[in-house]
């Protein structure tokens, strides 16, 4: 009986030794990882964290670009009571309504290109072309399309609807629609490439098996392609939303200048108007903090969606 106990106790020591070495190796790798990350963390802290902290501080001051007088959080109450701020926020909300369109249209185009019809490579290049054009050029082209006289007005005259001719950029209701339509067009190339990349990663045998079971192309697209593109939908959504909030300054500046009557002013453009046009740099910093908080919230939601898949 004693011999049996000794035989059973023999493997315990080597096993403990292996586990101890594994823990020690894991701890060593953790320390090495922290040391390797420290230079990058210092750079990020210097270039990102410090400016964010400065922006939060200046957002609570009356800052004219030279001197800053502390006002406190009451600055935000003043901003939230400003009807112009809510009008600007509403414009961002209207642009958000264009995000599903900026995703759905490229999805359909990607599905058609993925079928590889005749000349699909040329068509893919033409679709991707807007991504290589600057926002300034896109804005100048959009003015020629929506202004009066413009391409749309000329087209209406040709089809006998000349009475509908209008300067679409001079009316607040139609101006924001024109900006949203231009934004959607500018995102078609990027989102199409994203979805084409996702479709290229799907194993063709999945579709072959579905075809054997009698599933048609539309059925396969709905029940196979769309679920398998979930991560690409999430990436496209976040990219499109961030573009709508932070990348349309040049487009709006060229097309409408934020007008008429703040009809196309977004939070990003509102920062420019307050800080550089009116010299209220404290207010500009405060709007920047609000914009950062909105984008941070979107990022947190995205991380939660991704984490929920595991």
Of 197, 217, 143, nearest to 175 by C-alpha is 143
User: Does residue 187 lie in a domain region?
Assistant: yes
Q: Which of 303, 265, 302 is nearest to 287 (CA)?
A: 265
Is the Cβ–Cβ distance between 240 and 191 less than 8 Å?
yes
Euclidean distance between CA atoms 27 and 110, whole angstroms:
47
- Could you give the 3-state DSSP secondary structure of residue 70? strand
CA 188/CA 194 separation, integer angstroms: 10
User: Residue 254: which residues within 8 A CB-CB, separation 6 or more?
Assistant: 135, 136, 139, 140, 142, 143
The total of structural domains in the chain comes to 1
- Within-domain flag for 126: yes
Residue 181 CB coordination number (10 Å): 16
Please give the helix or strand (H or E) that residue 62 lies within, else none: strand 61-63
Report if pTM > 0.75: yes
Cα gap 226→111, rounded to integer Å: 10
CATH number, domain containing residue 131: 1.10.3720.10
Would residue 61 count as lying in a domain?
A: no
Please indicate, yes or no, if residue 291 is contained in any of the structural domains.
Answer: no
Note whether residue 88 is domain-resident: no
Residue 19 pLDDT:
67
For the record, the structure tokens of 238 come out as 């976040």
For residue 138, being part of any structural domain is answered with yes
* Residue 82 CB neighbour total at 10 angstroms: 12
CA 150 vs. chain centroid, Å, equals: 30
> What pLDDT score was predicted for residue 309?
55
| Element (DSSP H or E) covering residue 297 | helix 281-307
Q: How far apart are CA 9 and CA 275, in angstroms?
A: 75
The pLDDT tens digits along the chain (310 residues) read: 444 544 444 454 556 666 676 677 777 777 777 888 888 888 877 888 888 888 899 999 888 888 888 888 888 998 899 999 999 999 998 998 999 999 999 999 999 888 888 888 888 888 888 788 888 999 999 999 998 888 888 888 888 777 777 888 988 888 999 999 999 999 999 999 999 999 989 888 888 888 887 878 888 888 888 889 988 998 898 899 889 998 899 999 999 999 888 999 999 999 999 988 888 899 999 999 999 998 888 878 877 776 655 5
Within-domain flag for 13: no
Q: What is the domain extent for residue 167?
A: 94-265
**246 close to 233: Cβ distance less than 8 angstroms:** no
Is 180 within the bounds of a domain? yes
For residue 155, the model assigns a pLDDT of 85
Residues composing the chain: 310
Residue at token pair 């594994």: 22
């Amino acid at each position: 009986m004693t011999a049996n106990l000794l035989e059973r106790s023999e493997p315990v020591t080597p096993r403990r030794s292996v586990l101890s070495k594994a823990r020690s190796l894991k701890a060593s790798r953790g320390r090495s990882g922290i040391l390797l990350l420290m230079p990058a963390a210092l750079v990020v802290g210097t270039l990102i964290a410090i400016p964010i902290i400065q922006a939060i501080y200046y957002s609570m001051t009356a800052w004219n670009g030279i001197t800053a007088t502390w006002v406190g959080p009451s600055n935000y109450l003043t901003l939230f009571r400003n009807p112009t701020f809510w009008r600007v926020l509403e414009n961002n909300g209207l642009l958000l309504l264009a995000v599903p369109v900026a995703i759905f249209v490229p999805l359909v185009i990607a599905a058609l290109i993925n079928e590889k019809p005749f000349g699909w490579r040329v068509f893919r290049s033409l679709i991707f072309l807007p991504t290589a054009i600057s926002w300034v050029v896109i804005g100048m082209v959009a003015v020629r399309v929506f202004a009066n006289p413009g391409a749309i007005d000329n087209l209406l005259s040709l089809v006998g609807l000349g009475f509908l001719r209008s300067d679409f950029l001079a009316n607040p209701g139609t101006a924001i629609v024109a900006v949203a339509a231009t934004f959607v067009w500018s995102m078609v190339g990027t989102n199409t490439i994203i979805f084409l990349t996702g479709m290229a990663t799907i194993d063709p045998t999945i579709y072959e098996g579905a075809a054997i079971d009698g599933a048609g192309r539309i059925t396969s697209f709905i029940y196979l392609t769309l679920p398998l593109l979930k991560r690409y939908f999430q990436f496209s959504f976040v990219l499109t939303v961030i573009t709508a909030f932070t990348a349309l300054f040049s487009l709006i500046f060229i097309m409408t200048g934020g007008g008429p009557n703040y009809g196309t002013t977004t939070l990003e453009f509102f920062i420019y108007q307050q800080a550089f046009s009116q010299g209220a740099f404290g207010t500009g910093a405060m709007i920047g903090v609000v914009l950062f908080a909105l984008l941070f919230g979107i990022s947190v939601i995205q991380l939660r969606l991704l984490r929920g898949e595991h």
